Structure 1
Amino acid sequence: MERDVSVQEVMDREFVGVSESDGLRETAELILEEGADSAVVLRGADPVGVVTERDALATFVRAEGESADVSEAMTDSVPTVSPQTTIAEAADEMSAQSTQRVLVSDGSELLGVLSEHDLLSASPFAPTASGPASEVGERAVAGVSAGRGAGATEPGRDDRYTDQSVCEACGSLARGLSPFNGQLLCADCRDI
């Protein structure tokens, strides 16, 4: 995880907001319609809790067909962090509070929600256009197109392996990978 990235850079600024007196069935339908996994419960403009898909389901099962309000299902102890909090600090807060999300507030206004998914997206292991995974892909493509004696190499680099890359189908180190159906494949895998 990039330790110096702030919550503000990765939080979700769009969230579903409901009130405590809203019907739980309507709230669950809204969560599903919006493709969200939770709704922030607001009293006026102030956040007072969160209701998740799981909270709604548990309340429906306990209510046995009775109608319920959001206040009966919501979790009212949701941690809040400032937008300048680092994602490492936010992850620590989530872990300490055993929660999957924190609210992001500047003190007077709710700015967004940070979920575990947002933290994973900010991880250095998440695939990005310029991240470590793409660098490996770029080196593999360079190895395929460059071939032997392609020119300048990095200082101190062992040239015996510059024209080899990893086959995306079998994982073996091979020379002469070729693109096939969106993958770089060795001769054996292309023949299958």
Structure 2
Amino acid sequence: MNRDVTVQDVMDREYVGVSESDGLVETVELLLRNDVDAAVVQRGSEHIGVLTHEDVLALLVEGPDPAEAAVSDAMTESVPSVSPGVDIAVAADRMSTQESGRLVVTNGTEPLGIVSERDLLATHTMDTATENTEEAQVLVGRESDTEPETADDTNGGFQDQSICEGCGTFASDLTVFNGQLLCSDCRAI
């Protein structure tokens, strides 16, 4: 993971906040309308838990009638929190050790947003794609702004060729496309 990225850089600042006394069905409708998978449960400005899709499903199997249930009947009460300036590697470790799929980002007790496993994975995936792009440019012998170098006859004409990550052929017209080093045939697919 990129050690220069902090939680503040990847957190979702738009979160759904609900009260523990809110109706469960209404809260699920709110989650669906906002296309989010968790709500921060608050008492005043303090976060006291989180309500996730998994919590709602568990209540459907084990708990009271959802039409009569409140958020407090289904929520997870112990949700780890993290400061916005924390490195994402530290946040990932905290998620892993606390067995939580998300952390509430707080400045003291007030929630500022949520960072999820997806946020961290997306950051890691972007880092990997950037590293692969840089490696591919070195393999092909070109910089991102320049044309490919011409073949050197002393090397048998293979200086600017490499293997396409799509089809595995040896080609000189490779270009990074969607994070992969691809030949013109594979880019056309």
Pairwise same-fold verdict (TM > 0.5):
yes
Structure 2 residue aligned with 1:31: 31
Equivalent residues of 2:8, 2:85 under 8 A apart: yes
Q: What is the alpha-carbon distance in structure 2 between the residues aligned to residue 149 and residue 160 of structure 1?
A: 5
Structure 2 residue aligned with 1:154: none
Q: CA distance change for structure 1 residues 26 and 66 in 2, over 3 Å: closer, same or farther? A: closer
Q: CA distance change for structure 1 residues 112 and 186 in 2, over 3 Å: closer, same or farther? A: closer
Structure 2 residue aligned with 1:167: 164
Unpaired stretches in structure 2, ≥5 consecutive residues: none
- 1:12, CA displacement in angstroms? 1.1
Q: What is the alpha-carbon distance in structure 2 between the residues aligned to residue 13 and residue 186 of structure 1?
A: 40
Secondary structure of the residue that 2:104 maps to in structure 1? strand
Unpaired stretches in structure 1, ≥5 consecutive residues: 151-157
Structure 2 residue aligned with 1:185: 183
Equivalent residues of 1:127, 1:133 under 8 A apart: no
Q: What is the alpha-carbon distance in structure 1 between the residues aligned to residue 95 and residue 14 of structure 2?
A: 20
Structure 2 residue aligned with 1:122: 123
Structure 1 residue aligned with 2:11: 11
Q: CA distance change for structure 1 residues 149 and 161 in 2, over 3 Å: closer, same or farther? A: closer
Secondary structure of the residue that 1:76 maps to in structure 2? coil
What code does the residue aligned with 2:167 have? C
Structure 1 residue aligned with 2:74: 73
Q: CA distance change for structure 1 residues 131 and 186 in 2, over 3 Å: closer, same or farther? A: closer
Q: Does 1:148 align with 2:151?
A: yes
CA deviations 1:65-92 (Å, max 9, x no partner) are 5521100010010011111211121111
Equivalent residues of 1:105, 1:112 under 8 A apart: yes
Structure 1 residue aligned with 2:60: 60
How many equivalent pairs are there? 179
Q: Does 1:22 align with 2:25?
A: no
CA RMSD of aligned residues (A): 3.4
